[in-house]
Amino acid sequence: MTFGILQFPGSCDDRDALLACRRVAEARLVWHADVELGDVDVVVVPGGFSYGDYLRAGAIARFAPAMEAVARHAEAGGLVLGICNGFQVLCEAGLLPGALLPNDPLRFVCRQVEVVVENAETAFTRGTRLGQRLSIPVKHQSGRYFAPPEQLSELEARGGTVLRYAPGHNPNGSAHEIAGIVSERGNVMGLMPHPEHAVDPLTGSEGGLAIFNSLAASVTRRERSPLSA
């Protein structure tokens, strides 16, 4: 299976995501101007400051040609993981509900945090246990998850909150301590913590590796029984 990592002008964690994905499967970069994804099974929209993010994080990247291909991929049930700026881009593109607002307090924050797995049944978390705590760093300026109350209730009711910051670990004032969510169909996930920076104890922790392993396992499973989503 192959991961495809989008590369926008201003992407910063594209190579990090590439390295992390290559620990579990094949992976290559996908240029923002490409209109086709080719043989990619899982799209990763990486962290960074796409197009400088001077307007609103992710607001310009959603119009990139490659994002149209990502939307088609998601429409067809393909897996998409948005990390940090990628999460912001997926929200801007309407592939995930809600929005990421500037942190409370209004500062960039880079910190190791713990998140709790709230749904271990998704394609992104099937290698984890419900309630498992993962140590993963965050680093962002606009990571405060927001959605209107009805949307939040709907999200929670359908198990859409996949990762929640552990008590005392919410670094940005996110609603309901939300760190990561999944789409209604379960094939698109966005999260603010950086799992690609948590794949090796030497550089801090390996709490993020479970997400990449889960994705690899999910694709392999789909290949074996192509009719099950």
Partner 1 sequence: MSITDQTPHRELGLTDAEYERICELLERRPNRVELAMFSLLWSEHCAYKHSRKLLRRLPTEGPQVLLGPGENAGAVDVGEGHAVAFKVESHNHPSAVEPFQGAATGIGGILRDVFALGARPIAVLDSLRFGELSSQRSRYLLDQVVAGIGHYGNSIGVPTVGGEIYFEAPYEHNCLVNAMCVGLARADRMVRSAAAGPGNALVLLGASTGRDGIGGASVLASAELTEGEKRRPSVQIGDPFEEKKLMECCLELLDRGLLVALQDLGAAGLTSSAAEMAAGGGTGVEIAVDRVPLREADMEAFEIMISESQERMLAVIDPATADEVMAVCDRWQTGAAAIGQVTDTGAIRITRQGETVAELPVSALVDGCPLYDLEPEQPDEWMYGNRVGLERGIDPDRVLSALLASPSVASKRWAFEQYDSIVQSRTVRRPESADAAVLRLDETGRAIAVAIDGNGRRVACDPYRGTIEAVLECAQNLACVGARPLGLTNCLNFGNPERPHVAWQLERAIQGLADACEELQVPVVGGNVSLYNETEAGPIYPTPVVGMVGDLPDPGRAAGIALREGDEIALVGPFAPSVAGSELAKLRGDLGPGLPGASIGAVGAAIELVRDAVRTGTIAAAHDVSDGGLACALAEGAICGGVGVEIDLDRLVELRGASGEACLFGEGPGGLLVAGPAEALDTLGATGRDGGVDVIAIGRAGGDRIEISAAESGVSLSLEDAQRAWRSLRPG
* Residue with smaller CB distance to partner 1, 13 or 118: 13
Smallest distance, Å, CB 24 to partner 1?
15
Residue 197 as a binder of partner 1 (CB under 8 A): the answer is: yes
Smallest distance, Å, CB 13 to partner 1?
6
Among 1, 4, 13, 207, binds partner 1 (CB under 8 A): 13
Residue 173 as a binder of partner 1 (CB under 8 A): the answer is: no
Residue 63 as a binder of partner 1 (CB under 8 A): the answer is: no
**Is residue 194 annotated as part of the catalytic site, yes or no?**
yes
Q: Which of residues 109-138 bind partner 1 (CB under 8 A)?
A: 109-111, 137
The one catalytic residue among 21, 32, 84, 92 = 84
Among 62, 139, 169, 222, binds partner 1 (CB under 8 A): 139
Among 167, 202, 224, 228, binds partner 1 (CB under 8 A): 202
**Is residue 196 annotated as part of the catalytic site, yes or no?**
yes
Give the per-residue SS3 of the chain. Answer: CEEEEEECCCECCHHHHHHHHHCCCEEEEEECCCCCCCCCCEEEECCECHHHHCCCCCCCHHHCHHHHHHHHHHHCCCEEEEECHHHHHHHHCCCCCCEEECCCCCCCEEEEEEEEECCCCCCCCCCCCCCCEEEEEEEECCCEEECCHHHHHHHHHCCCEEEEECCCCCCCCCHHHEEEEECCCCCEEEECCCHHHCCEHHHCECCCHHHHHHHHHHHHHHHHCCCCC
Neighbour order of strands in the sheet with 2-7: 26-31, 2-7, 42-45, 79-83, 188-191, 178-182, 161-165, 109-117, 133-140
User: Which part of the chain contacts partner 1 (CB under 8 A), choosing from 154-162, 178-186, 200-208, 213-221?
Assistant: 200-208
Residue 57 as a binder of partner 1 (CB under 8 A): the answer is: no
The one catalytic residue among 73, 140, 169, 194 = 194
* Residue with smaller CB distance to partner 1, 9 or 159: 9
For residue 55, the tally of other CB atoms under 10 A from its CB is: 9
* Residue with smaller CB distance to partner 1, 48 or 98: 48
Q: Which residues contact 120 (CB under 8 A, 6 or more apart)?
A: 126, 128, 129, 130, 132
Residue 48 as a binder of partner 1 (CB under 8 A): the answer is: yes
Tell me how many residues contact partner 1 (CB under 8 A). 31
Catalytic residue ranges: 84, 194, 196
Question: Which residues of this protein are in contact with partner 1, per CB under 8 A?
Answer: 9-13, 15-16, 19-20, 47-49, 51-54, 107-111, 137, 139, 141, 194, 196-197, 200, 202-204
